[in-house]
Amino acid sequence: MAEHHYVPQFYLRQFLDPASVGTPDPWVWVGDLEPGEVSRRAPRNLANRAGYYSIPGGTTVAETEAVERLFQQMETAAAPIVRKLNGGVDTLTPQEWSDLLYFAAFLAVRTPSVRDNFEHFFSDVAEMMLGMSAMHPAHFADTWQKANPERTYTPQELEQIRQDLLKKDAFKIRARPILSLVAAFDGAKDTIYPVFMQMPWVILRPSIANSFFLTSDTPVGWVDPTPRPPMYRGHGLAMSNVEVSFPVGPRACLFAGWKLAPGMDSVSVPAEPHHVEQLNTRRVIYSGGQVYAHQEALAQWAVDFSVRHRDAGAEPGPSL
């Protein structure tokens, strides 16, 4: 089964250690947050899973790999634009912005940390509905039999199944991965990308020479940094104070917010060191467990920050 990269290799190569460029196997510095370890690894060995975007039931490779090939097309369009930004260019054409934000919209939801949330949600809803059905004997018997037409259940068997389902923690439903893939795809295309195209964007560049952005296995994310009522557990893109960030290299980060001045051309804004650090902490907090940097010291900083944040008992909440 083919290995699918949920963080593209071309993107990870923007964060190569300069000392490794030109070597047979260049590397980035990886901070594994859970064990608190830092190592160097080649992009081809990072952020990948076997068959992660495969479509089950496909009769040909073209059918099975259709989503992966779509992602490859997006990456092909985005790669030269990302390299352009990392080369110091600040002016993008409307088409380049469109291609780049389309890529960013899908990158925001194609990662395990987001797809896992989708699957947990679907599982929770299914368990709730099944549990509610089990509270009504006649409805449950009819529904269960229709859902399992391959065999005929006796009334006693149906009642036993119903009683078993009513027991606390009696069952666990696991959503099929294809559901999260479809939800992520539809969300990116129909919701996130259109909103991204409406938002004003700037390109942040560190104001001093020794200040750098890092990235993670959840490269694109947004957060409303202002205090909000407890009922708002998520961070919606429509919230007036929401901020979107997407580091595209150590010295360039796309940034959007509704309160920025409109306009999406020739907009480069200097980012002071404390702003860079703030955005780096967001990448750490909302990561799925790994951060990537072009310097060992920066990856180690991320690991140390994660340990302090975890020891403080902080709960980051959902990033999307």
CA distance 97 to 101: 6
pLDDT for the residue numbered 278: 96
pLDDT for the residue numbered 170: 67
CA distance 241 to 258: 7
Q: Each residue's pLDDT tens digit in the chain (320 positions)?
A: 788 999 999 999 999 999 999 999 999 999 999 999 999 999 999 999 998 898 887 778 888 889 999 999 999 999 999 999 999 999 899 999 999 999 999 999 999 888 877 777 767 777 787 778 888 888 888 888 888 888 899 988 888 888 888 876 767 777 777 888 888 889 999 999 999 999 999 999 999 999 999 999 999 999 988 876 665 656 788 888 999 999 999 999 999 999 886 655 557 899 999 999 999 999 999 999 999 999 999 999 999 999 988 777 654 443 33
DSSP letters along 62-73, please?
Answer: HHHTHHHHHHHH
Residues 141, 135 contacting (CB under 8 angstroms): no
pLDDT for the residue numbered 20: 97
Under DSSP, the state recorded for 192 is I
pLDDT for the residue numbered 317: 41
Q: What is the residue extent of each domain of the chain?
A: 3-118+175-311
Q: Which residues contact 25 (CB under 8 A, 6 or more apart)?
A: 42
pLDDT for the residue numbered 106: 95
pLDDT for the residue numbered 301: 97
* pLDDT tens, residue by residue, 185-196: 899 999 999 999
* pLDDT tens, residue by residue, 141-177: 888 888 888 889 998 888 888 888 887 676 777 777 7
pLDDT for the residue numbered 234: 63
pLDDT for the residue numbered 30: 98
Q: Which residues contact 278 (CB under 8 A, 6 or more apart)?
A: none
The two three-digit tokens of residue 127, written as one number: 């368990």
The two three-digit tokens of residue 238, written as one number: 């429509």
Say if strands 28-32 and 290-293 run parallel, antiparallel, or are unpaired.
antiparallel
Q: Which residues contact 245 (CB under 8 A, 6 or more apart)?
A: 220, 221, 222, 253, 254, 255, 279, 282, 283
pLDDT for the residue numbered 126: 73
